[in-house]
Chains A and B, each alone.
Chain A
Amino acid sequence: QVQLEESGGGVVQPGTSLRLSCAASGFILRDYAIHWVRQAPGKGLEWVTVISYDGSNKKYAEFVKGRFTISRDNTNNTVDLLLTSLRLEDTALYYCVRRPQAYGLDVWGRGTMVTVSS
């Protein structure tokens, strides 16, 4: 079964860091670009970042401002998202999402919740 599973979320204080991880099963991760999309409680979807299939190309949303770093390990079929300098407004459910070439965001994980609170 094709699926993505996020982990690493939790409750943290402002200014601290957190590493999220996305594990793929049922397909070969290295064949796909992987995105992270977040959703604050009761709000809409917000795109965060993408990493190309081989890790050579990364893009970030403007609000990231150098605080987040995406990486991947195709050998272990995982993609990580390092969140640093966390702010209250980073509180959200973070989804890991697959995107085949010339297609939409077709496989979504269930998300991992990040809560930034003092």
Chain B
Amino acid sequence: EVQLVESGGGLVQPGGSLRLSCSASGFTFSSYAMHWVRQAPGKGLEYVSAIISNGGSTYYADSVKGRFTISRDNSKNTLYLQMSSLRAEDTAIYYCVKESESWGQGTLVTVSS
């Protein structure tokens, strides 16, 4: 069974940094592209970032480009999202996603002073 478990969320001040992790199990992690999707409170889904299976290519939404960095450690079956220069509008639940069919439970990031 595919399991994706996000961690690392919390309260951070504007301008601060945070690193999210997603621990994957139940599938061959190194064979799949992985994604981050976020959802602000009461709002719709927003695509954030993707990384291909070997980490060789990455993609970002314009709203996070230059501030967020996606990476992965295939030896640890773990996906990361390094977030810096955080803004209030980055407040959201962040989901780790495999393909389209498997989503984690999400981790809440709150950016506030």
B is a partner of A: no
What residues make up the interface of B, taking CB atoms closer than 8 Å to A?
none
